[in-house]
Amino acid sequence: MKFIELTKERHSVRSYTARPVEQEKLDYILECARLAPSAVNKQPWKFMVVQSPEGKSKICQCYAREWMAEAPLYIIVCAVADEAWTRRYDGKNHADIDAAIATEHICLAAADQGLGTCWVCNFDTTLIRQLFPFEPDTYPVAIIPIGYPDETDRPEAKRKPMDEIVTYL
Ligand SMILES: Cc1cc2nc3c(=O)[nH]c(=O)nc-3n(C[C@H](O)[C@H](O)[C@H](O)COP(=O)(O)O)c2cc1C
């Protein structure tokens, strides 16, 4: 698949079948996350794969949506602030940026494997820390449900026109 086709194929999936995700596909997705670039190659990330019934129930407490419960598994993408590169000019810690790149690798790799995903950031940040084992310097950036899409139609991806977002200087 050409990259433009893959970017069009990836979209937020909010309806999943019960079909389990094959371990080879999960391995492929995690490998694509592992290979993501990061500032000064610090790789300040951890990935929690949640697929046990107990773990899934905890995820659905943190982000209580009916469609979320359908997904057969989730990856919690975590940033490790103390491992990340910090820019000396303004002290900006790049953990979030690095974790976001890895997250999008996960979403694109899943789409490449015929799987659906959805970035989820609107979760209960206090509860997730209580329910999952985070080190003090590690925090969740996104929860990504992964599964086979159960979609009859797909909403059109609305994007701003090119002339609104690009400036040639
Ligand atoms: C950083 C980020 C956070 C998001 N958080 C949520 C979320 O909590 N719940 C949700 O349903 N979608 C969430 N989304 C999905 C966006 O709504 C979606 O990507 C956007 O509307 C564009 O649609 P598309 O992904 O189908 O192209 C998030 C996306 C990003 C990039």
Measured CA to CA, the distance from residue 27 to residue 166 in angstroms comes to 36
Q: Torsions phi, psi of 93, nearest 5?
A: -85, 130
Residue 119 Cα to ligand 1 middle (Å): 5
Shortest-distance Cα residue to atom 20 of ligand 1: 12
Measured CA to CA, the distance from residue 109 to residue 34 in angstroms comes to 11
Encoding tokens for residue 53? Answer: 């019934």
Measured CA to CA, the distance from residue 95 to residue 86 in angstroms comes to 9
Cβ of residue 105 lying under 6 Å from some atom of ligand 1: no
Measured CA to CA, the distance from residue 74 to residue 31 in angstroms comes to 16
Residue 89 Cα to ligand 1 middle (Å): 31
What does the pLDDT read at residue 156?
Answer: 81
Measured CA to CA, the distance from residue 11 to residue 17 in angstroms comes to 16
Residue 124 Cα to ligand 1 middle (Å): 16
What does the pLDDT read at residue 155?
Answer: 79
Residue in the block written with tokens 């609104």? 164
Go through the domains of the chain in sequence order and give each one's CATH number: 3-149 (3.40.109.10)
Measured CA to CA, the distance from residue 158 to residue 169 in angstroms comes to 26
Residue 88 Cα to ligand 1 middle (Å): 31
* DSSP class of 20: P
pLDDT in tens, the chain (169 residues): 899 999 999 999 999 999 999 999 999 999 999 999 999 999 999 999 999 999 999 999 999 999 999 999 999 999 999 999 999 999 999 999 999 999 999 999 999 999 999 999 999 999 999 999 999 999 999 999 999 999 988 878 899 999 999 999 9
> What number does the ligand 1 atom closest to the CA of 63 have?
8
Tell me the three state secondary structure of residue 69. helix
Cβ of residue 12 lying under 6 Å from some atom of ligand 1: yes
Cβ of residue 1 lying under 6 Å from some atom of ligand 1: no
Measured CA to CA, the distance from residue 45 to residue 168 in angstroms comes to 34
CA dihedral of 94, 104, 139, 25, whole degrees rounded to 10? -140
